Chain A
Amino acid sequence: MTRPRTRRTRGHSKVSSGPSRTRLSPRVPATRHVCGVGPRSIRLGLIACTLVAACLAQSAAFEQGGFLENRALFYPRAGVTDQTQRIDELLLRWEARLRLSEGWRIFVGIDAQTDTHNQVERTWHLSWDDRGIARPDWALRTAFLQYTHGVFRLEAGKQVLHWGVMDLFPPTDRFAPRDYLSPSGSDYLGIWAARAVIDSGTHSLELIYGPRFTPSRAPLIGQRWVLLPPFSPLFTYRVDAPEYPGGPQLGLRYHEVRSPFEYSLYFYQGFQTLPSLPSQVNFLRRTVDYLPVYPQVRMLGADFTMPWRGLLWKAESSYETSASAYSHNIWTYEAQVEKSWDKLQLEGGYSGEFVTDDRDFAALAIDRSLRKSFTGKVVWTPTAKQSLSGEWYLRQTGAAFITRIVYSRRLADSLRASVGWNWITARKNDPIEPYSVNSFLSLQLRYSF
């Protein structure tokens, strides 16, 4: 196993790989933790949390749980920019809730993690806002207060929100930033927001106000999941510190169950959670500077679910517009059909898009990379202890194929092991083709408590 000489300071990378190769370097000082607490505070906080949890554990009003998970990734081939072939990640997630009174509850979730690939910070800081480029070693995943009164519910604080009925990249899922650092699972990140819901059962109306933007955590420059355009090996590529937008995000969702079908309507005004990357080339200095920006967008969307002819049919679509030069006007749609038997579950569908106003710029549009493809999933559960699943994406032109096969087995009451093979293959000229070297084997061990 070989590794590039990598130095990372609070999430920014500098990869020096020799004068004859493309160099990537940060241009500005590292991002500071705008909201965070230091090591001493963390230790004191943990001791306090443990004591409080121990006291509260006796109370029926307090519940807690979580898991400890180890994920090992093996890449048979070295990457284009990253030679590392073995990565190990360790994540501890703890979640708790406390019922204060009849209608009031508090929810808290904390993540603690580390890895062997420097994708996780080593600062011993608790991140409140998930705005760092690398994963924080300690992060407040959720912390919100919930008030319920009859059909009305209000949740305020840091919470995980997402919309849509589709599995992987629902077209209407605009609020939810994700962690795309590792391909082993794009986990959702919490956002600071107030959410009010009126749910009468068959009708519900949801209003979300997010005062502070939380970006998705994009793959790090210099690692195998980011391949910048090969402008020239003689140039140095630099990525500026991102400019996070300052305005609020607003969302409105209406849902109706009109048995046997149900549908939702969506409106969102906010920002892309993945950055667009306008660049500036300086031929004298032989530099290419990328400035990550998060354009403001507006989205209208809908989803529909209906059982018909022995199958469950789902459709979801959104139309996104933006005044920014760094975002497309784009119509995204997805249709899926499902069928379940005792031990077998099948899904098949199509995911498409139509760009109505194509603008020329680079972007980290990970969600768009799997559009215009046929998707499918099979889950076979021969016993309650084990399952075998396979899912795939086939580009409609047949030019790219991605599949993931996972075998999962429960080893003990709270211990589960999974082994998976992710295979990426594509023809030349397909945007996914450079990532073909990134096929990987994953081993996962999770202890739930």
Chain B
Amino acid sequence: MNMKVGILAALAALGAAGQSPSTAREIMQEVQRRSFSKSFRYDGHITVRKASGVTDRKTWRYERFGPPGDSKVMLRFLDPAEIRGVALLVWNSPGKAADMWLYTPSLERTRRIARQDRASRFAGTGFSFEDLEESDIAQWDYSELQDATENGEACWRITGRRVSDRRSLRDKNWLWIGKQKMTALRIEKFRGDRLAKRLSMSAFELKQEIWTAMSVEVADLSDRSVTTLQLTDARYDVRMSKSGFTLEALRGPW
């Protein structure tokens, strides 16, 4: 009996894997399913290049606890010494905007980031606070499915609009999803009709059966700066504790 159930489950899984998603939402559901992990950790090396040619380097440690969309994220700067210990805590919840707090050790203050302020830059990088949010796909409306090519790789181009926030209804994202890797290769963010930011993923590596972009480039078109994030020591399903993602842990000494 158990063997029969096992065979049926395997056949069902094979059948599910064989079906190709046909709508934009199904594609995004598949992207989320394939990137599922209980936790994720990496060290991020950031280089910010200004239009003037000035460069700025920073390093942070990123830790996610919980599956994407229903996770808690702690991001703590390791370098340079001046901002070591500055930390961002993000609580992602299904169906609603994330809660965010920023801790500044020099002031010994924790500041809540208001939802309306999340388009602002994070710590002088090209990332905004909302770029570091991991909202689940239930908060988005996906449409305009098109075939496209990105760096010679066949992909879909999908338009995503956030439906959980009335303020950003006019804003949209274009997502290029690789058909083979089933992960985002490029994201373009529009404010109204104006292209504001372009995120390009590259240097993909298969980490614990999840295609992971080890390099992310963020081009901010408003000030023509380019931020590059290089991932090292990226690991999924690392043993973590929920207690490491509280306000108490955020305020804890670096």
Contact = CB atoms under 8 A, between A and B. Distances in A.
A448 B99 contact: no
B145 to A, nearest CB: 33
Contact of B114 (A167, A340, A446, A448): A340
Interface string A160-194: 10100001000000000000000000001000000
Interface in A255-272: 255, 257, 259-260, 262
Interface string A369-394: 00000000000010111000000000
A405 B97 CA distance: 36
B253 A97 contact: yes
B12 interface: no
Contact of A259 (B93, B113, B249): B93
Contacts of A148: 243
A311 interface: yes
A199 B80 contact: no
B147 interface: no
Interface string B119-146: 1110110000000000000000000000
Interface residues of B, number: 43
B81 A384 contact: no
Contact of A385 (B56, B119, B121): B56
Contact of B254 (A63, A257, A384): A63
B84 A65 contact: yes
B112 A151 contact: no
B82 A257 contact: no
A146 to B, nearest CB: 8
B193 interface: no
A312 B112 contact: yes
Contacts of A384: 48, 56, 123-124
A151 B243 contact: yes
Nearest to A206: B248
A260 B115 contact: yes
Q: Which of A95, A340, A381 has the most CB of B within 10 A?
A: A340
Nearest to A160: B108
Given A197-B248, A260-B99, A384-B48, A414 B253 contact: no
B233 to A, nearest CB: 12
A150 interface: yes
B50 A449 contact: no
Interface residues of A, number: 47
B163 to A, nearest CB: 18
Interface in B234-253: 241-243, 245-249, 252-253
A305 interface: yes
B56 A305 contact: no
Contact of A204 (B82, B247, B252): B247
Contacts of A150: 241, 243
Given A107-B253, A383-B50, A339 B117 contact: yes
Contact of A201 (B50, B82, B114, B246): B246
A136 B179 CA distance: 66
Interface string A87-131: 000000001010000000001000000000000000000000000
Contacts of A97: 253-254
B151 interface: no
A305 B112 contact: yes
Contacts of A340: 113-114, 117, 120
Contacts of B108: 160, 162, 188
B34 interface: no
Contacts of A339: 114, 116-117
Contacts of B48: 384
A95 B253 contact: yes
A410 interface: yes
A339 B116 CA distance: 9
Contact of B80 (A162, A381, A448): A448
A338 interface: yes
B4 interface: no
B96 interface: yes
B114 A338 contact: yes
Contacts of A204: 246-248
B82 A255 contact: no
A413 interface: yes
B167 to A, nearest CB: 8
Contacts of A260: 97, 99, 115
A255 B247 contact: yes
Given A199-B249, A448-B82, 12 more contacts: A160-B108, A162-B108, A167-B109, A200-B246, A259-B96, A259-B99, A260-B115, A307-B115, A339-B114, A342-B119, A342-B121, A448-B81
28 contacts: A65-B85, A65-B254, A97-B254, A148-B243, A150-B243, A151-B243, A151-B246, A199-B243, A199-B246, A201-B91, A204-B246, A255-B247, A257-B91, A257-B247, A259-B93, A259-B96, A262-B112, A307-B115, A310-B114, A312-B117, A338-B114, A340-B117, A340-B120, A342-B119, A342-B121, A383-B54, A385-B56, A413-B82
Nearest 5 interchain pairs by C-beta: A384-B124, A448-B81, A307-B114, A312-B114, A340-B117
Interface of A: 63, 65, 67, 95, 97, 107, 146, 148, 150-151, 153, 160, 162, 167, 188, 197, 199-201, 204, 255, 257, 259-260, 262, 305, 307, 310-312, 338-343, 381, 383-385, 410, 413-414, 416, 446, 448-449
